[in-house]
Amino acid sequence: MKRKLLEMKALKTYFYTGDGVVPAVDGIDITIYEGETVGIVGESGSGKSVTSLTAMRLTPGKVVEGSVTFDGRDILALSEKEMRGVRGNDMAMIFQEPMTALNPVFTIGEQLLEAIRIHMKLGRSETKARAIEMLRLVGIPRPEQMLREYPHRLSGGMRQRVMIAIAMACNPKLLIADEPTTALDVTIQAQILELMQQLKTSQGTSILLITHDLGVVAEMCDRVAVMYGGQIVEECDVLTLFTSPKHPYTQGLIKSMPTLETNERRLYSIPGSVPPPGSLRDGCRFSPRCEFAQAICHERHPQLEAVGAGHSARCWLHAAEAKEAFQ
Amino acid sequence: MSEPKAASLLAQSIPSTYADVPAKRGALYKQVLKRLKNNKRSLLGLWMVSLFIFIAILAPWISPYDPLEQNMDKLLQAPSLSHPFGTDEYGRDILSRIFYGSRISLMVGIVGVVISVVFGVAFGTIAGYFGGKIESVIMRVTDIFMAFPGFLLALAIVSVLGPGMVNLMIAIGIFSVPSFIWITRSAVLSVKNKEYIEASRSMGAKHRRIIFKHIIPNSIAPIIVLSALRVATAILSASGLSFLGMGAQPPSPEWGAMLSAGREFLRTAPHLSIVPGIAIMLVVLGFNLLGDGLRDALDPKMKV
Amino acid sequence: MNESLLEVNHLTKYFPIKKGLFNRTVGQVKAVDGLNFTIFKGETLGLVGESGCGKSTTGRSLLQLLRPTTGEIKYEGRNMVGLPPEELRRLRKDMQMVFQDPYASLNPRMTVGELIAEPLDIHQAASGKERTRRIDELLEIVGLNSRYADRYGHEFSGGQRQRIGIARALALNPKLIVADEPVSALDVSIQSQIINLLQDLQDQFKLTYLFIAHDLSVVKHISSRIGVMYLGGIVELANKRELFAEPLHPYTQALLSAVPSPDPLAKKSRIVLPGDVPSPANPPPGCAFHTRCHACMAVCRTDKPELRDVGGRQVACHLYNQA
């Protein structure tokens, strides 16, 4: 068995707003093993981004319950100073829009060198050598020249490469990528995904990939958690997700995607709207949109239960199945 | 990544996650009112402004004396039960004069600002919406006006037109026009390129419809805020001009003029200047609090 | 062959780059550079390409939201470029647009009823009871409850707002709808609802679509023919089945192979294009794609390939010139 790198248990992150409490993340269990890529799939407001921010302890919300263990350390108990040591060194993050993550008044070099200097404590020339090496690693042509450029002079794809270079500069054990290719064109997305795959193989980094794109999940991930309304509704390995999804929401998502391979005239579609975060209800959160919903689904909230080896789903349809399997 | 960058990112990443939260049912103004009420300072401003407006409306009924009635037996009396704020050098009741004076101050402030809103919004919208040469001309003229210190400009206008209430209002109005042109233009510029403007154009809408249906309703928030703040400035400037003898003429109970008249008796009867001074301060404070509160309530993003 | 609804000939749209104190024009962004294509009645023509390829500029030029630099756009045989404003306004009833951002494209100060009735008001097409009836009817058509007419747009979710935008586009019974990335801002589970709605409306009202998107899977699903754009020009225009079965242009090949497949078992050979799209302000000489093309020849660096017929479809590539 591989070593656990990140483990979130019964995690709840709530936002306290003027209009009341918003349970953005409402009881999440996720484990990431070393060298593994785990995907979190969900739509807007599903809590997927807040989950990743909570792992970095960067969420503006409040963690009301649960634990985050990273590399044997209790993340939630660390001091802010210790946490700064973890961020960047052991855990790094890249975001959807690289332009907002790069400071426009500093050159790429200044930002990259700063990141290396803070975390690796190398000499001046070694720091620069490391920076150039990193830029070369992420496939940026003429890295020496690039150090002197300002972020706005770069294309979106190049900026995301720079972000990855900054994130990977200190050999983090875990890379959290929040929609890393959503703002990019397909051909550039292909470049970035390939780069992330290469880095994962060569550096042995674990990746937590947050995305709404099932295509990206299929290409990148080993294991997937599907989130809906702040909770995980299904978790399994990537093959199982696409071949035998159990939760009606997962099934619906997969069926409703137009693909290059299918030829049906009409697409399957999940009725209704994505629920805003915090709109809580009795029973299963997906039940108003679920075509298989029964009486119990509207009344009682289902638990995440094992439905197969390494496969769990939060659905009353499979709760009975799960019980039988145990007996 | 270093931490400040990550922190600044959060500000952007979180709202987008919650962009889909549907607002509660009800018209926009209801929400604005609710947000206004939730803020203690703006609520205080609202109360202060309402109070002065009530006083102004009800002045004839709530004033204990005629503000112009002289009483040579009771000159420069200190505050007492029969004259809560005392009497002035002609024996007039200061409380009554303050009550009636609120009519003058509010009228000058509001009429002055209405003048500047009308011209400022018209020119600002034309400049922002049409752009090009016409914008250059409007904005360069505005620049010239803004290069003068506002109060001196008003002073110059009144001295050309001659003292008096109407001229005072015109001067106060002109003096605020440039700032309304600026703020309207920048609001229009940010609205102009919104997709719903393009949508309206794609349906074949004419300029007039786009301006009145789309541009102005969506640019109005900063204009409302500036109006509230500018009423305060206008009242202050009007009092200042009257203090210098360029505005309201005696015996009208204008606060600035009262303050000016009281100067001579500052040692013997300080309440002559202090009371109108406090009145000016309170009404200006009220409008400023209200303006700040409106800014927060109308558009939280506008906060500087 | 079908009857053509809209014909585009040599359409170019350059944006001047202005600099300095006196706004001197120092260069031009060639957003669209010499487009030729036809949209047939009742079809869906898809335009795909990456950001900056000029697909949105094309859509806006067709609707005369942008004035083309040169070229002609013939609607039912009549050139729209340079028409007097009043005549253009009348033609606008026939062609409407659906926008990408369901938040930005609806005026936040207007109720749903006002939003949907805007085209009716502009063209004085209906008033009073007739107007109310039409609003209710349009809301029902796009699958919204007509009770919502007096609510504000911000009370709705992204998908519902996009339905409002579609209802507004339908108000004047248009013939052509230009849909610019209509689903790319929506959640995955909502996208298919809107795609299905657009298809149902097409069947019901005999609409013609120009469907602009960057998502190949979506374009493939909804279009009958597809034009692939790169740096201001169409590089390949073909029936969707032919295009996806056998893409001819090297850029089309790369684009198709870059789409991540939601099938973890499908290990396809991917063509990863090197580098970035060149700036349209300074496009490379010859074929615009030659800087990233794996099949680049000497002629590609100097001569710009024209879009020409290659076995029933159109390709702009020197590889197919000999055929």
Over residues B139-184, the pLDDT tens digits come to: 999 999 888 888 888 888 888 988 888 898 999 999 899 999 999 9
Q: Which fold has domain C4-94+174-261+268-320?
A: Rossmann fold (3.40.50)
pLDDT recorded at residue C154: 78
pLDDT recorded at residue B45: 92
Beta bridge partners of C13: C32
Which residues, 6 or more positions from A14, have their beta carbon under 8 angstroms from its beta carbon? A21, A22, A23, A24, A25, A61, A62, A64
C263, A216 contact by CB (below 8 A): no
Helices (H), chain C: 55-62, 85-92, 112-122, 128-141, 158-170, 188-205, 216-222, 240-245, 250-258, 298-302
List B residues 219-258 in contact with C (Cβ-Cβ < 8 A): none
B282, B55 contact by CB (below 8 A): no
- Per-residue pLDDT reduced to its tens digit, B78-94: 888 888 898 888 889 99
Q: Which of A158, A81, A68 is nearest to A112 (CA)?
A: A158
**Residue C182 carries which DSSP code?**
T
Contact call for B10 and A60, based on CB within 8 A:
yes
Q: How many CA atoms lie within 13 A of A285 on its CB side?
A: 22
Task: Spell out, as residue ranges, where chain C has pLDDT lower than 70.
Answer: 1, 21, 267-268, 322-323
Residue B25: pLDDT band (50, 70, 90) is very low
Q: Which of C145, C179, C137 is nearest to C162 (CA)?
A: C179
Task: Spell out, as residue ranges, where chain A has pLDDT lower than 50.
Answer: none
Neighbours of chain A (3+ CB pairs under 8 A): B, C
Structural domains in chain A plus CATH codes: 4-80+173-271 (3.40.50.300), 97-171 (no CATH)
C184, C215 contact by CB (below 8 A): yes
B12 assigned to some structural domain = no
List B residues 22-61 in contact with C (Cβ-Cβ < 8 A): 22-25, 27-28
Contact call for C192 and A258, based on CB within 8 A:
yes
* Nearest C-alpha in A relative to B31: A19
pLDDT recorded at residue A117: 85
Residue C140 C-alpha from the chain's centroid: 26
C276-C282-C283 Cα angle (round to 5): 65
Which residues in chain C have their CB less than 8 angstroms from residue A37's CB? none
Contact call for C154 and B218, based on CB within 8 A:
no
B287, B49 contact by CB (below 8 A): yes
Contact call for C193 and A271, based on CB within 8 A:
yes
Q: What are phi and psi of C17, to 5 degrees?
A: -100, 115
A277, A22 contact by CB (below 8 A): yes
Q: For strands A4-17 and A20-33, give the pairing.
A: antiparallel
Which residues in chain B have their CB less than 8 angstroms from residue A101's CB? 1, 5-6, 9
pLDDT recorded at residue B38: 80
Long-range contacts of B149-152 (CB under 8 A, 24+ apart): B150/B175, B150/B176, B150/B233, B150/B237, B151/B175, B151/B237, B151/B240
The amino acid at residue C159 is: G
B126 assigned to some structural domain = yes
Whole-angstrom distance, CA of residue C304 vs CA of residue A244: 50
Contact call for A188 and C50, based on CB within 8 A:
yes
pLDDT recorded at residue C60: 92
- Per-residue pLDDT reduced to its tens digit, B204-221: 899 999 999 999 988 988
Residue B28 to chain C, least CA–CA distance (Å): 8
Q: Where are the domains of chain C?
A: 4-94+174-261+268-320
Instruction: Answer whether C322 touches A (CB < 8 Å).
Output: no
| Number of domains composing chain B | 1
* Nearest C-alpha in C relative to A268: C192
**ipTM score here?**
0.85
Instruction: Answer whether A166 touches B (CB < 8 Å).
Output: yes
Contact call for B9 and A59, based on CB within 8 A:
no
Task: Look up the CATH number of the domain holding residue B163.
Answer: 1.10.3720.10
Instruction: Answer whether A97 touches B (CB < 8 Å).
Output: yes
Domain limits for position B291: 27-59+93-302
Residue B10: pLDDT band (50, 70, 90) is very low
Whole-angstrom distance, CA of residue C272 vs CA of residue A190: 7
Which residues in chain C have their CB less than 8 angstroms from residue A257's CB? 188, 192, 217, 262
The amino acid at residue B254 is: E
Q: Which of B231, B237, B238 is nearest to B252 (CA)?
A: B238
B9 assigned to some structural domain = no
Which residues in chain C have their CB less than 8 angstroms from residue A291's CB? none
* Nearest C-alpha in C relative to A187: C258
Residue B9: pLDDT band (50, 70, 90) is very low
Residue A84 to chain B, least CA–CA distance (Å): 7
Residue B183 C-alpha from the chain's centroid: 14
Residue A116 to chain C, least CA–CA distance (Å): 26
